[in-house]
Amino acid sequence: MNPQIVPIHRKESLREDGMLFVRTEGILDTMVKLPLLVASMIIVAAVMPIQSSFSSPRILDLIIYPDGTTHVSAKVDVDPLATDYEFDLFGNTIDNFVVVGENGFLLNTNVIGNFAIIETFGSSVITIEYDIYDLVSKQGRIWTFSLDAPSDFTLLLPKNSAIVGMTNLPINMEIINDQNQLTLSVGDTEIDYLFSTNPVVTNHVVSDISILQTDYFTYAIVGGIVAVSIIGIIVIIRSKQKTVKPIQIQQSAQKIETIDAETIFRLKPDLREDDKEIVKFISNNGGQAFESELRKKFLQPRTTMWRAVKRLERNGIIEIEKKDLQNLVKLRKNMEKEE
Amino acid sequence: MKILALFTIFVLISGVASTSLVNDAYAQNDPNILLRIATQADKQILNQLDSSFDDSIPPKIQKLYEKGHTSVESLKNSLPDNIEQAREDFLSAMKSFMQITKIISEPVAEVKLATSDISDRDLKSELNRLDKYFQSLKTVSEKHNTGIDFSEIEQLFTQAKQQIDLGETREATQTIQQLESSIHEIKKKIRENASNSSSDRIKKFASKHLIKIQKILDRASSVDSEIPEIEKANLLIQEIKTLISDDNISDAKKKFGELNKIVKIIEKSIHQ
């Protein structure tokens, strides 16, 4: 080690009054560089948003039509000093491609595969519109929209469509003319949707009403038919009431035949508590109940109740019958004998 | 100077901070929409399961549905206080429902939509798209003062709409074809008309751009006058100026492309 080299701060000591003296050359150097530093920071601050805006669309709106075709509308900031701008398309099967400059003038374009070269020549903002067939696919009843979006975007779904799955969080959702419009964030998005038929029924009702309002004669005929049919139904019900009585007696006889809940619990001690509740309800209901009644009573989803019923059937406690397209759940009468 | 430096730093920091704040606020826009979407999806999936399987739902789907439904229930409980949990629940529910839809749709081959592939064409959608396209062109045409008469096309649109409403598919298809060719013709006319105004625009742009390029070339010459591309670029500038004065815009545009490529090479060699 060279003994002559001694650090300056060790060589100089603080004076008694504690005042610190510093070399002024460094300060002078910094003072000269400071304006440069400030100027460069201002330039960086100014250029940062411009750079980011050139790279992705400022506005991106998508509309999905009922046949799965998607209309794309994008507003992009471009370099006003560039002669052309290369724009990435979302696919290569496109139609109705129009690019307009900031003053509403049509710009020349050349679409090559997945991108378009747009002759901007001094434009700073361009609007691009086209229809694309590549973003939506269909499997059975399910339609799937998928896109790797370069920026946040809005997506207007077709009328009567219902979302049944999606891969990322929506930023917002609005209803525009009975259509769902989602605002989604940049990146990969996949949305599954299908068409719900319910609103179509509403439209029919509306159109029927409008016809009735305009045509009083038709109204009278329809009213007459409805009145006659109501009278007919009442007559039929009254005439059938006489024959119903013996069936009711038969049903009450069946009630007596069914095994009571306590016996079932004795025979099946391992039964789950929630299953016991179902058995109790069926027993109190005369030994039988529709699955839909059980769902309403226990406020269970369809599938959960269906599993419970299947479990009871496997245990030999109940049997399932189809009645009026519904599941009728009955307590088994011969359970005790089997045991 | 110190104040200016501090001010700049403050502007930079506040700028960065404000953008992040804006993003956060934007991302948390009404979390109840998550519940609306998830609940709607739950109902739709249940309807689909009912119509597809009645009461004999395969165990795999059953399990997925229960997972999704539980997530929807959890989402209900998470809102409005626990937004982070609500987001997780939403994604979990939608993922489960999506898996169900994939399984339900498995036996049917995927149909990628393409113009020629659509067997059952939705004429209403086609007409709406065409109308949107036509409206864009009409606006451009008005901007260019082309004086094109659109009444015939507008009549065709009304006719096609009526035919679709009446279920006259064949006639509507023919009218739409007619519309497509008419709109194509209009676009051609607008383009021809626009070429005059665009040439003025290009001339203005060229004079500005050539000054900028000349400056780059002067700077490059002062750094290294031996760069062979400088001479080529100077020649191209002269050519472009002559072409523009002769109103030969299309050739000028081509030369501009060449010039831009050469300027990029020169800029690279200066920075090396």
Nearest residue in chain A measured CA to CA from B3:
A38
φ, ψ for residue A154 (rounded to 5)? -105, 150
- Rounded Cα distance between A327 and B85, Å, is 38
In this predicted model, what pLDDT tens digit does every residue of B12-39 receive, in sequence order?
566 555 444 444 434 445 778 888 889 9
Q: Does the structure show a pLDDT above 90 at A145?
A: yes
**A187 DSSP assignment:** E
Residue, of A45 and A228, whose pLDDT is higher: A228
Nearest residue in chain B measured CA to CA from A103:
B143
Residue, of B95 and A41, whose pLDDT is higher: B95
Place of tokens 């545009």: B253
- Rounded Cα distance between B234 and B213, Å, is 9
In this predicted model, what pLDDT tens digit does every residue of B70-126 receive, in sequence order?
999 998 888 777 888 888 899 999 999 988 988 887 655 555 554 444 444 688 888
Residues in B closer than 8 angstroms to A328, CB to CB, are none
Instruction: Mutate one of A48, A52, A78, A96 to test the B interface: name it (highest B CB count within 10 A).
Output: A96
- How far from A115 is each of A18, A109, B250, B251, CA to CA, in Å? 70, 10, 22, 24
Contacts (Cβ under 8 Å, ≥6 apart) of B202: A121, A122, B244, B249, B252, B253
Please tell me the predicted confidence (pLDDT) of residue B22.
43
Residues in A closer than 8 angstroms to B41, CB to CB, are 162-165
Q: Which of A24, A167, A22, A134 is nearest to A68 (CA)?
A: A134
Q: Which residues pair with B225 in a beta bridge?
A: none
| Pair A266, A317 in one domain | yes
DSSP state string for B212-248? HHHHHHHHHHHH-TT-HHHHHHHHHHHHHHHHHHTT-
Residues in A closer than 8 angstroms to B46, CB to CB, are 301-303
Please tell me the predicted confidence (pLDDT) of residue B15.
56
The model's confidence at residue A72, banded by pLDDT at 50, 70 and 90, is: very high
| Pair A262, A245 in one domain | no
DSSP state string for A272-331? -HHHHHHHHHHHHTTSEEEHHHHHHHHT--HHHHHHHHHHHHHTTSEEEEEETTEEEEEE
A329–chain B nearest CA distance, Å:
13
In this predicted model, what pLDDT tens digit does every residue of A77-99 receive, in sequence order?
888 777 788 888 998 888 889 99
Residue B143 burial (C-beta neighbours within 10 Å; 0-12, 13-18, 19+): middle
Question: Any chain B CB within 8 A of the CB of A225?
Answer: no
Contacts (Cβ under 8 Å, ≥6 apart) of B85: B74, B78
Is residue B68 a contact partner of residue B97, using CB atoms and an 8 Å limit? yes
| Pair A298, A327 in one domain | yes
Q: CB B121 to CB A302 under 8 A?
A: no
A237–chain B nearest CA distance, Å:
32
Nearest residue in chain B measured CA to CA from A137:
B112
| Pair A223, A245 in one domain | yes
Residue, of A49 and B236, whose pLDDT is higher: B236
B174–chain A nearest CA distance, Å:
19
Please tell me the predicted confidence (pLDDT) of residue A251.
44
The model's confidence at residue A34, banded by pLDDT at 50, 70 and 90, is: low
- Rounded Cα distance between B93 and B43, Å, is 12
Q: CB A104 to CB B140 under 8 A?
A: yes
Q: CB A194 to CB B44 under 8 A?
A: yes
Q: Does the structure show a pLDDT above 80 at B182?
A: yes
**A92 DSSP assignment:** S
Work out how many domains chain A is built from and give that number: 4
**A178 DSSP assignment:** T
The model's confidence at residue A247, banded by pLDDT at 50, 70 and 90, is: very low
In this predicted model, what pLDDT tens digit does every residue of A183-228 receive, in sequence order?
998 889 999 998 876 543 333 332 332 323 334 444 555 666 777 7
Is residue B162 a contact partner of residue B175, using CB atoms and an 8 Å limit? no
Q: Give me chain B's average pLDDT, please.
A: 80
Residue B119, CB half-sphere, CA atoms under 13 Å: how many? 2
ipTM: 0.73
Contacting A residues, span 97-136, partner chain B, CB-CB under 8 Å: 98, 100, 103-108, 119, 121-122, 129, 131, 133-134, 136
Tokens matching residue B72: 């929807």
A13–chain B nearest CA distance, Å:
30
Please tell me the predicted confidence (pLDDT) of residue A272.
85
- Rounded Cα distance between B235 and B228, Å, is 12
Which residues constitute the domain of residue A16? Answer: 8-45
Classify residue A51: in a domain, yes or no.
no
Which of A105, A172, A306 is nearest residue B30 as measured by Cβ atoms? A172
C-alpha torsion sign, points A90, A91, A94, A98: positive
In this predicted model, what pLDDT tens digit does every residue of A95-116 receive, in sequence order?
889 998 887 888 888 888 888 8
Distance, CA of A27 to chain centre: 61
Classify residue A12: in a domain, yes or no.
yes
Q: Which of A167, A195, A223 is the last residue of a domain?
A: A195
| Pair A36, A156 in one domain | no
Which of A105, A122, A194 is nearest residue B144 as measured by Cβ atoms? A105
Residue, of A212 and B52, whose pLDDT is higher: B52
Is residue A88 a contact partner of residue A57, using CB atoms and an 8 Å limit? no
In this predicted model, what pLDDT tens digit does every residue of B207-217 receive, in sequence order?
888 888 888 88
The model's confidence at residue B2, banded by pLDDT at 50, 70 and 90, is: low
Is residue B61 a contact partner of residue B103, using CB atoms and an 8 Å limit? yes
B175–chain A nearest CA distance, Å:
17
| Pair A170, A268 in one domain | no
| Pair A33, A151 in one domain | no
Classify residue A201: in a domain, yes or no.
no
Q: Which of B21, B27, B22, B42 is nearest to B83 (CA)?
A: B27
φ, ψ for residue A333 (rounded to 5)? -80, -40
| Pair A139, A212 in one domain | no
| Pair A39, A139 in one domain | no
Q: Does the structure show a pLDDT above 80 at B147?
A: yes
B226–chain A nearest CA distance, Å:
27
Look up the CATH number of the domain holding residue A119.
Answer: 2.60.40.1730
AA letter at A128 = I
Domain-wise residue ranges, chain B = 2-105, 123-195, 199-271
Query: How many Cβ pairs closer than 8 A exist between chain A and B?
Result: 206
Classify residue A53: in a domain, yes or no.
no
Please tell me the predicted confidence (pLDDT) of residue B13.
63
B229–chain A nearest CA distance, Å:
20
Is residue A147 a contact partner of residue A184, using CB atoms and an 8 Å limit? no
C-alpha torsion sign, points B138, B143, B146, B147: positive
Classify residue A200: in a domain, yes or no.
no
| Pair A213, A299 in one domain | no
For every residue of B6-70, which 3-state class applies, written as one string? Answer: HHHHHHHHHHHHHHHHHHHHHHCCCCHHHHHHHHHHHHHHHHHHHHHHCCCCCHHHHHHHHHHHH
Q: CB A171 to CB B29 under 8 A?
A: yes
Is residue A38 a contact partner of residue B5, using CB atoms and an 8 Å limit? yes
Look up the CATH number of the domain holding residue A289.
Answer: 1.10.10.10
Question: Any chain B CB within 8 A of the CB of A190?
Answer: yes
Is residue A146 a contact partner of residue B144, using CB atoms and an 8 Å limit? no
